[in-house]
Structures are given as structure tokens and as C-alpha cells.
Amino acid sequence: MNRIINIALLGFGTVGAGVIKILTTNSDKITPKIGAVVNVKKILVRNPQKVRDIKFDGEITTDFEEILNDKDINIVVEVMGGEHPAKEYILRALQAGKNVITANKDVVAKYGKELFEAAEEPNVDLMFEASVGGGIPIIRPLKQCLAANEITEVMGIVNGTTNYMLTKMTNEKIDFADVLAEAQSQGYAESDPTADVGGFDAARKIAILSSIAFGTRISLDDVYVEGITKISSQDIEYATELGYVIKLLAIAREDENGIDVRVHPAFVPSTHPLATVSDVFNAIYVRGDAVGETMFYGRGAGQLPTASAITADIIDVARNTMHNVNGRILCTCFEEKKLCNINNTQSPYYIRILVDDKPGVLAAIAGAFGAQQVSLNSVIQKRRVNHCAEIVLITYNVTEANVRLALNTIKGMSVVNEVENVIRVVS
């Protein structure tokens, strides 16, 4: 007779229902791996009257205390989303000596330190594989499989909505506004798309990934963020011509200048492993001193992929419970490290400028860059519009501060109509 491990879900939305589905459908695979049966004893919901299209035989409750005070419940799985009261519930569950699994990137990115500290004394597990990359195994690979490495770079496409939009803009030559409207009607983008298109969702995820990769706590405020709202079909056309694809990247790098963490659109060479990651797919590229380049690819969102990651955490915590070793691997942020300000980062840049179509203008612009030590790799005069000419420049690897100074000068020139876009290039 198998032992029973009782768990509770906080939330019975799409992802919660996915966890129930997997635990039901694949119980014959899961039970022997643990040596115990996972039983969902209670689910916390807001509205118990709501009709759900999934069968659940356990108890439905609206009272968190009922779960907290249930001594049989070993694992609390937070799938309600949002910052509050999710954070408070997670904290109290940990303090009550319960193991916690969460898919909540907002809470982990913002309160990770506090929650991990709370897990220490009662020695319970706190797992969050689903918080980044949906079903893609990435937290455990970073914490365990690549643990022997000094990680120097994590670079990911970690937001499915924007990747879907950029893929569509690239393949079908549609403008940002149109593709956003289409993504909203398909349910790929929310009615308020700011978290996705503004880069903030990706920022939370790279804060989590970089904390693990570099062994130091990176908070959301440490991440420099630019979204994709300024990307036009013109930029995409030039990128294609030049052998690149535009992706919203979450980038974290460590070198002698410190840790540099940022989210922004980028020109990715079409030969880079991330270049072919299309539609709603996500991928995380990791570079370590021993392993070299690795990449992890899959579905970054969706009911079952997310529930796959959560259920893997349930299996892992249950295995720990069976061996009495909960809290075996907790926070791995052992060091304090300095951050590198965005002004001190280096990159090649793509710059698109609309100027008066007159002799001498190109020389003036090149001169302004030169005065700030910004060397130009290529300068192409593109289409002419009315009395204007569009100039596309790619710089060599240069410092952000210098680019900004040069662009300030250029913006002040009477022959310059507009600096239309500035996009970093992945080298």
C-alpha cells in the first residue's frame, strides 16, 4: 500500500486545472517515481460556485487558514497569480513548515530573498520551475546540471507574446499596432499589454534566472528595461536585409565590470541558436566556462506546459519528503556582487536616422559619432522620403554612454529630422 502525500492548490484557474489533469492522467507514471500517491486534498478558490470543466473530488475552500491548519497537507502549490495575497500565503505556508511550489514570477522576482529566508529555519522546499520558461526545464538545470560552471551569460527569449508578435511582423510584414490587435483577439496578448510589450514580464524572469546563474540576488529594480513598442516594420526589413532577426531578449552577463542585466529588443544574427525560436516558443541560451554554449527550448506558457513544470516540482518535493530531506537545495545566492550600469555596457548598435537629403549631412553625422569614439562598421543610405533620406548605421562594439552622447549631438543638428530607432546588436 503506497503512502499518500497530500497537497493543496491555491487557485483553480487554467494552470491549477492543468495540474489536476496531469496528476490524474499520468498517475501511473508519477506514483512509482515517488513511491507514494500524490493526493490533491484541498483547493483554495475565490468563488466555490463557479462551474469548472474538470472533475475534482477533494475539498474546495475559500479559507486559506483551512489549508494552513491542515496538518496532513505537506505541499502548498500556489497557482493563483498576482502579488497579493499570493506572497503572504506562500510566506505563511513556509513558516508553518509546509513545502511550497509556485509558478509566480512576480512574487519570486520581488520577494525571493524573504521567501527563501523563511524556508531555511523550518527546512522546507521552495520550488519555482514554472516561474520562467513555462514547461522548459531551466531552474533545475541552472541549479544542478550546470552547477559546476562559472556562468558568464544567460540570454533568453522568455516572453511568448512579444515573440509571437515579432515573428508575425517579420514573416508577414505587418505593423506593430496591427499585430498587437491581432494577438489580443487571439488571446496571445492581454487587453493591457504593457507587462509583455513593455518588457516587464521578461525583466522579472531574467531577475530570477540571473540570481541563480550568478549566485547573487538580482532584484527587478536592477534590470534595465526597454520594450518592443518602437519596433517598426522598417526596422524589421533592414534587420532581414542585414542578416539579423529582431527579438526581445532578456540578457544577463557577468564580466570584470560587474553584472549587466537588461531586457530590450536586439538584432540577433540569423545564425545564432536563438534566431530560429519563433512564435510563442521560448528559449534560454546559457554560456558557462566549462560547458560552453547550451540552449533550452520549448513552450514558455500554456496550461499543460506550465503544469508540467509545477508537477515536476511536486514530484521532486514529494521525493524529498519520502527521504526526509526537504530543504535539500535552497537559495544559492551566496555572494554580493556589483552591478554594471547600462551606460558602461558595450554592444554594437543599429541606428536609423532620418535626415535632410543634402550633401555633407552624412559627413556631419559620422563626425558626431567619431567625436565620441563611436566607430561605424557600416553606413547605408536607404530610401528617400520627400526631401529626406534615411540612414542606417551599424557601429562596432562601443560603450552605451558614448552612443548616447553622440546621439544627443546628432538630435540637435538642424539637418537631422529624427533619430528613428536605436537597437542593440548581439555580437
Largest Cα span, the chain: 87
Vertex 382: Cα angle to 381 and 383 (nearest 5)? 135
Beta bridge partners of residue 264, listed in sequence order: 249
- 316 scored as a contact of its own copies (CB under 8 A): yes
Q: Where would I find the beta strands (DSSP E) of 147-243?
A: 151-157, 224-225
Provide the total of helices (H) and of strands (E) in the chain, helices listed first: 14, 18
Residue written as grid cell 527569449: 157
Contact region with its own copies (CB under 8 A), list: 175-183, 187-195, 235-243, 302-310 = 302-310
Contact region with its own copies (CB under 8 A), list: 61-69, 100-108, 299-307, 415-423 = 299-307
By CB under 8 A, the residues from 16 to 75 that bind its own copies are 18, 22-23, 25-26, 29-30, 32-33
Of the candidate residues 14, 149, 152, 233, the single one contacting its own copies (CB under 8 A): 149
In this structure, the number of other CB atoms found within 10 A of the CB of residue 258 comes to: 15
Three-state SS at 1: coil
Q: Answer whether 179's CB lies under 8 Å from 186's CB.
A: no
Compose the 207-246 pattern: x for residues touching its own copies by CB under 8 A, - for all others: --------x-------------------------------
Q: Answer whether 308's CB lies under 8 Å from 326's CB.
A: no
Of the candidate residues 298, 398, 400, 425, the single one contacting its own copies (CB under 8 A): 298
Nearer to its own copies, 129 or 201 (CB): 129
How many residues form the binding site for its own copies (CB under 8 A)? 56
CA distance from start to end of the chain: 58
Compute the least distance from the CB of residue 130 to its own copies, in Å.
11
Q: Which phi and psi (to 5°) does residue 183 adopt?
A: -65, -35
Compute the least distance from the CB of residue 170 to its own copies, in Å.
14
- 3 scored as a contact of its own copies (CB under 8 A): no
Beta bridge partners of residue 354, listed in sequence order: 390, 418
Compute the least distance from the CB of residue 324 to its own copies, in Å.
8
The sign of the dihedral angle between the CA atoms of 403, 406, 408, 414 is negative
Of the candidate residues 58, 122, 269, 273, the single one contacting its own copies (CB under 8 A): 273
- 297 scored as a contact of its own copies (CB under 8 A): yes
- 302 scored as a contact of its own copies (CB under 8 A): yes
In this structure, the number of other CB atoms found within 10 A of the CB of residue 83 comes to: 12
Compute the least distance from the CB of residue 133 to its own copies, in Å.
10
Compute the least distance from the CB of residue 427 to its own copies, in Å.
19
Question: Which residues touch 127 (CB under 8 Å, ≥6 apart)?
Answer: 99, 100, 101, 102, 139, 313, 316, 317
Of the candidate residues 48, 293, 381, 384, the single one contacting its own copies (CB under 8 A): 293
Separation in Å, CA 35 to CA 1, 31, 219: 10, 6, 38
Compute the least distance from the CB of residue 10 to its own copies, in Å.
19
Q: Answer whether 61's CB lies under 8 Å from 9's CB.
A: no
Catalytic, 337? Answer no
- 405 scored as a contact of its own copies (CB under 8 A): no
Q: Which of 205, 230, 247, 337 is catalytic?
A: 205
Of the candidate residues 309, 391, 398, 426, the single one contacting its own copies (CB under 8 A): 309
Contact region with its own copies (CB under 8 A), list: 228-236, 242-250, 305-313, 394-402 = 305-313
- 347 scored as a contact of its own copies (CB under 8 A): no
Q: Using CA atoms, how far apart are residues 67 and 100, in angstroms rounded to an integer?
A: 12
Q: Answer whether 202's CB lies under 8 Å from 248's CB.
A: yes
Of the candidate residues 78, 106, 129, 196, the single one contacting its own copies (CB under 8 A): 129
**Whose CA is closest to 203, among 262, 163, 268?**
262
Compute the least distance from the CB of residue 27 to its own copies, in Å.
10
Active site residues: 205
The residues that touch its own copies, with contacts defined as CB under 8 A, are 18, 22-23, 25-26, 29-30, 32-33, 129, 135-137, 140-141, 144-150, 215, 273, 276, 288-299, 302, 304-305, 307-309, 311-312, 314-316, 319, 323-325, 328-329, 332, 334
